[in-house]
Amino acid sequence: MIPPAVPTVFVVDDDPSVRAAIQGLLKSASLRCESFATAEEFLRGTRPGGPSCLILDVGLPGMNGLEFQRQLADAGIQIPIIFVTGHGDIPMTVKAMKSGAVEFLTKPFQDRELLNAIRQALDRDRETRTHQSGLATLRKCYGDLTSREREIMGLVVSGLLNKQIAFELGISEITVKIHRGQVMRKMRAESLAELVRMASKLGLPPGKK
């Protein structure tokens, strides 16, 4: 069983000698590695839950690297990609980078270049995972609000005062204060500014005015 925090570098390249060389380099750098000959083989594998990145050959047989990058994006699989190729060109590089690739290396590349790209990719994946974890927590907190609390939260973050919210909803100001307190407690917000930031992260539409 692999601890969830252990990073994994995946290598997809149809050249066994390239895979072996990269695996040897990663082992010397104390990085865990799994290698595959094709994109399809990678997709059939089970990926651990820790930070990861993908070293991907552009000229794969069958589905090439750029097509695979697009398929991963369409499937919602977010993994930083480092492209490697024996015959890169500028349009290909631009296309890969515009689609979110971390780096585009032309073989033969320096070990230091690859290791630097891997560290950058793993850092990016850690940041993404931290963001997603925080967003999942926010969504759970928001899901615990009652419909009335959600309504009041929307109006609060829109900038309305308690008395304005009370008038808007046809309830007493005391009731608004109680609901507002519940919203702050359930959302774990220490201030109005923090609650506004939470609403923004959740992509909530502004409340009625």
Helix (H, G, I), strand (E, B) or coil at 199: helix
pLDDT per residue over 9-42, tens digit each? Answer: 999 999 999 999 999 999 999 999 999 999 889 9
Question: Considering the entire predicted model, what is its pTM?
Answer: 0.70
| Amino acid sitting at position 106 | T
Report pLDDT for 204.
87
pLDDT per residue over 120-149, tens digit each? Answer: 999 999 998 888 889 999 999 999 999 999
Of 5, 1, 2, 3, nearest to 125 by C-alpha is 5
Q: Which of 70-79, 133-142, 160-169 has the lowest mean pLDDT?
A: 70-79
pLDDT per residue over 195-204, tens digit each? Answer: 999 999 999 8
The CA distance from 205 to 63, in Å, is 41
Confidence of residue 209 (pLDDT cuts 50, 70, 90): very low
Spatial contact of 92 and 58, defined as CB atoms under 8 Å apart? yes
Q: What would the DSSP string read from start to end of 107-138?
A: SS--HHHHHHHHHHHHHHHHHHHHHHHHHHHH
Confidence of residue 205 (pLDDT cuts 50, 70, 90): confident
Query: Could you count the other beta carbons within 10 Å of the beta carbon of residue 139?
Result: 12
Confidence of residue 208 (pLDDT cuts 50, 70, 90): very low
For the chain, what percent of residues have pLDDT higher than 70? 94
pLDDT per residue over 80-115, tens digit each? Answer: 999 998 776 667 777 777 777 888 888 888 999 999
Read off the tokens for 129.
């995972």
Cα distances (angstroms) measured from residue 147 to each of 123, 132, 144, 187: 38, 25, 9, 14
Read off the tokens for 207.
């409340």
